[in-house]
Amino acid sequence: MQHLVIAPVLLPLLAGIALLLLRPLPIGWRRVLSLLAVLAQVWLALLLLGQAGDGGIFTYALGDWPAPYGIVLVADRLAAGMLLITALLGLLALLYASRGTDLEGRHFHVLFQLQLFGLNGAFLTGDLFNLFVFFEILLLASYGLLLHGGGPERTRAGLHFVVINLAGSTLFLFAVGTLYGVLGTLNMADLARRMAQVGPAELGLVQAAGLLLFGVFALKAALVPLYLWLPAAYAGTSAPVAALFAVMTKVGVYSIVRLDTLIFGAQAGDSAHLLGDWLLPLALLTLAIGMAGVVASTGLRQQAAYLVIASVGTLLIAAGLGTAGGLAAGLYYLPHTTFAAAALFLLADSIARRRGKLADRFAPDGTLSHPRLLGGLFFITAVLIAGLPPLSGFVAKFLILRAALPHPDLAWIMAVVLVTSLLALIALARSGSVLFYRARVVNPPAGGERLLPELAPAAALLLLCLGLVLWAGPVHEYTLRTAQQLHHPQIYIDAVLGREVAP
Amino acid sequence: MEALVAVIIGVLTACGVYLSLRRRSFPVVLGITLLSYAVNLFLFAMGRLTIGRPAVIDAAAAGYTDPLPQALVLTAIVISFAMTAFVIMLALKARAELGDDRVDGNRPT
């Protein structure tokens, strides 16, 4: 049991190394191995979710060095939930990629496993510098995945993506260094504990470091004004990679939530709720600007990329409310938006393949085969994303707005969320009508396309969203408990540092 | 010594920021490299600057220097080294594929 916490980190690392060494094997074997590794991760995440769901916080001291001296991995409800979302998304993206995307370049499966290694590590680590290391791992893997398949467009977007993330990493290290210089620790629980004892002389320094960290995480989460790298990168890369990247911005959101609730949480004395003043206005702006991008997009993949930005805005509005109810609503919205965005990226690829030279551009005189099936799936995805009843988007937005009712800035939140929902509806309805109604229906090429396996991953993602509606009660119950756990950082601190006194 | 190190970090950072805002990819790569040098020095200095003190336990030592930042810097150096190698390869690839070494890939009109 004790080693279960480190298993989701080790498994993709070992699988990645194995896949690298097994390159001489035929591709079929490597696909099976890679898929089995991700399936095992889903299983591990479910086990961990079952354990952490009872409210326990499990720590794993690497090398058995006790907590503030060594590095710890910490599995609480939030981390377990994020692991499950990542593993499910990874499984379906990999299924889609195993139909041929993985042959467009080299080492796709290795990079994919290492990407999951970085993601899982970032969710589990309880140490700020270790978080930096896992960030670098997931970024380095993501650079490779982003460029997978090549082409000038990908290279150009990739260069921007890499350079801006390198600058972000530098800022991350400056913030980490400042925090270490003042507080003498990098363990997140220990940082949270010592934050309350910071004297007035060093308060400014600590808060500057905190806001610098927020800036770095905002860059990863693509918060306004640090979102400009995202649309070209996500729209240009291959579909399964874009689908997996739907969870990459959520790593930034996850880190912001940790920073906001743990390190600068309620117990942090003078620095408590440091991010509170920034989070909500920036989130509202992100939602508004992201949605403007959705309306102005000229292609379906670009539209999906802007929808990712808008979803980050919605997510951080929920987190920025500063209440457990708001955070719970946001955490319910998180899996919904991740799965829906990934499904849209996969569908956009299927549609683009059938439109010849037009690809995914919004031009009226296109051709399309299987318009009913593709259109039907697009319709469901659009209903999900726009937040129309009866699907999970509606439930999530309703929960967020309900949680916002007692907030003093209710008028702004209501206005922005509702107007942007309307804009999303208009933009998606327009895309759908251009892509499907005004398209000339052509017969599928002879020899038959294998439509079912191609659309199965996207359909499975939509089914997951359907599951979120059907089991909305238990899921929301879980996110509510997660939010309550996050809003009592003392539990986390005791769980991590408690090992100190244990024999 | 603190003042000297602080000035070095400041100059490196300023040069790094200036270069990474340039239009061509080579200065950008150099700028990123200078920034990583600056941050490595900064991390190192965060353990307080001491001279002639051991980092590991020694019965005769009067005091110690903090070993943790040194370990952090080692990790950061390795990572930034790998990243620099990658970004150089990518810049070369972009130069070859886009036919231009401007980071936005467009010739000024």
In 3-state terms, what secondary structure has residue A193? Answer: helix
Question: Is B78 at the interface with chain A, CB within 8 A?
Answer: no
One-letter identity of residue B18: Y
* DSSP three-state, residue A187: strand
Chain B hits for A180, Cβ within 8 Å: 43, 46-47, 68-69, 72
**Using the beta-carbon criterion (under 8 Å), do A159 and B91 form an inter-chain contact?**
yes
How large is the average pLDDT for residues A45-57? 90
Instruction: Reply yes or no: is the peptide bond before residue A390 cis, omega within 30 of 0.
Output: yes
Residues of A in contact with B76 (CB under 8 A): 173
Q: Check CB contact of B28 with chain A, cutoff 8 Å.
A: yes
Residue in A closest to B90 by C-alpha: A159
Which pLDDT tens digit goes with each residue over A253-304? 999 999 999 999 888 888 888 888 899 999 999 999 999 999 999 999 999 9
The per-residue pLDDT for A320 is 92
List of chain B residues whose C-beta atoms are within 8 Å of the C-beta of residue A147: 90
Are residues B35 and A167, on separate chains, in Cβ contact within 8 Å? yes
Omega of the bond leading into A225 within 30 degrees of 0 (cis): yes
Given a cut of 70, whether residue A99 has pLDDT beyond it is yes
Tokens of A98: 């195993």
Structure tokens, A236: 């240009």
Contacts of B98 in chain A (CB under 8 A): 152, 155-156
Chain A contacts to B (CB-CB under 8 A): 129, 133, 136, 140, 143, 147, 150-152, 155-156, 158-160, 162-163, 166-167, 169-170, 173-174, 176-178, 180-181, 186
Q: Which of B38, B46, B75 lies at the smallest CB-CB distance from A133? A: B75
Burial A165-193 (b: 16+ CB within 10 A, else e): bbbbbbbbbbbbbbbbbbbebbbbbbbbb
The pLDDT of residue A501 is above 70: no
Query: Is the Cβ of B35 closer than 8 Å to some Cβ of chain A?
Result: yes
Given the DSSP bridges, would you call strands A72-75 and A58-61 parallel, antiparallel or unpaired?
antiparallel
Q: What number is the average pLDDT over the span A64-89? A: 92
Half-sphere exposure of B5 (CA within 13 A, CB side): 14
Task: Return the biggest CA–CA distance within chain A.
Answer: 75
Is residue A406 helix, strand or coil?
A: coil
Q: According to the model, what pLDDT value does residue A337 have?
A: 95
DSSP string for residues in A432-482: HIIIIITSEE-PPPTT---HHHHHHHHHHHHHHHHHHHHTHHHHHHHHHHH
Q: Which ranges constitute the DSSP H helices of A321-360?
A: 324-353
Using an 8 Å CB-CB cutoff, list chain A residues near B46.
Answer: 177-178, 180-181
Q: What one-character-per-residue DSSP string does A163-175 give?
A: HHHHHHHHHHHHH
Distances in Å between the Cα of A50 and the Cα atoms of A40, A77, A340, A470, B57 are: 15, 9, 25, 20, 44
A286 in the Ramachandran plot: left (φ > 0), alpha (ψ -120 to 50) or beta?
Answer: alpha
- The closest alpha carbon to A286, from A243, A251, A320, A335, belongs to A320
Whole-number pLDDT of residue B108: 57
- In angstroms, the separation between the Cα of residue B41 and the nearest Cα of chain A is 10
pLDDT band at A503 (very low <50, low <70, confident <90, very high): very low
| Count of helices and strands (H, E) across chain A | 20, 4
Q: Which residue, among A32, A31, A36, A97, has the nearest Cα to A345 in the 3D structure?
A: A97
* pLDDT, tens digit, 9 for 90 and up, residues A399-434: 999 999 999 999 999 999 999 999 999 999 999 999
Determine, for residues A173 and B91 on separate chains, whether the beta-carbon distance falls below 8 Å.
Answer: no
User: Which residue type sits at A426?
Assistant: I
Q: Three-state DSSP class for A366?
A: coil
3-state SS string over chain B? Answer: CHHHHHHHHHHHHHHHHHHHCCCEHHHHHHHHHHHHHHHHHHHHHCCCCCCCCCCCCCCCCCCCCCHHHHHHHHHHHHHHHHHHHHHHHHHHHHHHHHCCCECCCCCCC
What pLDDT is stored for residue A446 in this prediction?
Answer: 59
Q: Tell me the C-alpha distance between B51 and A302, whole Å.
A: 55
**Which of A152, A177, A180 lies at the smallest CB-CB distance from B98?**
A152
Q: What's the whole-model pTM score?
A: 0.94
The whole-chain average pLDDT of chain A stands at: 91
Closest residue, chain A, to B94 (C-alpha): A155
| Neighbouring C-beta atoms of residue A435, cutoff 10 Å | 26
Instruction: Determine, for residues B28 and A140 on separate chains, whether the beta-carbon distance falls below 8 Å.
Output: no
CB-based contact A57:A491 (threshold 8 Å)? yes
> Is B105's pLDDT higher than 80?
no
* Residue of A129, A148, A153, A159 to mutate, testing the B interface (most B Cβ within 10 Å of its Cβ): A159
A449 vs A304, higher pLDDT? A304
B16 exposed, middle or buried (CB, 10 Å; 0-12, 13-18, 19+)? Answer: buried
Q: Is B39 on the interface with A (CB under 8 A)?
A: yes
% of chain A surpassing 70 pLDDT: 98
Euclidean distance between CA atoms A420 and A429, whole angstroms: 14
Nearest Cα to A492, choosing from A291, A157, A267?
A: A267
Q: How far is A37 from chain B (nearest CA, A)?
A: 27
For an interface test with A, the pick among B75, B102, B104 (most A C-beta atoms closer than 10 Å) comes out as B75
**Residue A502 pLDDT class (50, 70, 90 cuts):** very low
The domains of chain B, with CATH numbers, are: 1-48+64-103 (1.10.287.3510)
Say what the pLDDT of residue A142 is.
94
